[in-house]
């Protein structure tokens, strides 16, 4: 028998291994994906260094410059925020005075 681990099916547990056989494979897989994104370091919007860590639900802090800001629950910038920011940066958008 070959010893192939981590094939298409199974071996997804990682941090969701604490759930055991409960809740189903795909829900545990989603939990792993969300936790990996939220525990990763992200780019700081102020100093542009990859040093932002999650402090709590929606609270993010840069470890380099100390900048603390509110963002998404699991990612610092939600997809809706990126869309809004893009529309504000367009050349024809009204400017603040």
DSSP character at residue 95: P
Chain-wide mean pLDDT for the chain? 85
Q: Say how far apart CA 62 and CA 54 lie, in whole Å.
A: 9
Instruction: Estimate to the nearest angstrom the gap between the alpha carbon of 61 and the chain centroid.
Output: 14
pLDDT digits (tens, 9 = 90+) for 41-81: 999 999 999 999 999 999 999 999 999 999 999 999 888 88
pLDDT at 7 over 60: no
| Nearest alpha-carbon partner for 48 in 37, 69, 64 | 64
What domains, with CATH codes, occur in the chain? 1-39 (no CATH), 41-91 (2.20.25.30)
């Amino acid at each position: 028998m070959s010893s192939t681990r981590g094939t298409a099916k199974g071996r997804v547990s990682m941090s969701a291994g604490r759930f055991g056989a409960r809740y189903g494979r795909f829900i545990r897989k989603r939990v792993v994906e969300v936790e990996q994104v939220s525990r990763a370091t992200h780019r700081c919007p102020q100093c542009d260094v990859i040093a932002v860590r999650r402090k709590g639900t929606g609270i993010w802090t840069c470890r380099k410059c100390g900048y603390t800001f509110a963002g998404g629950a699991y990612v610092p910038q939600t997809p809706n925020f990126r869309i809004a920011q893009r529309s504000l940066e367009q050349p024809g958008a009204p400017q603040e005075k």
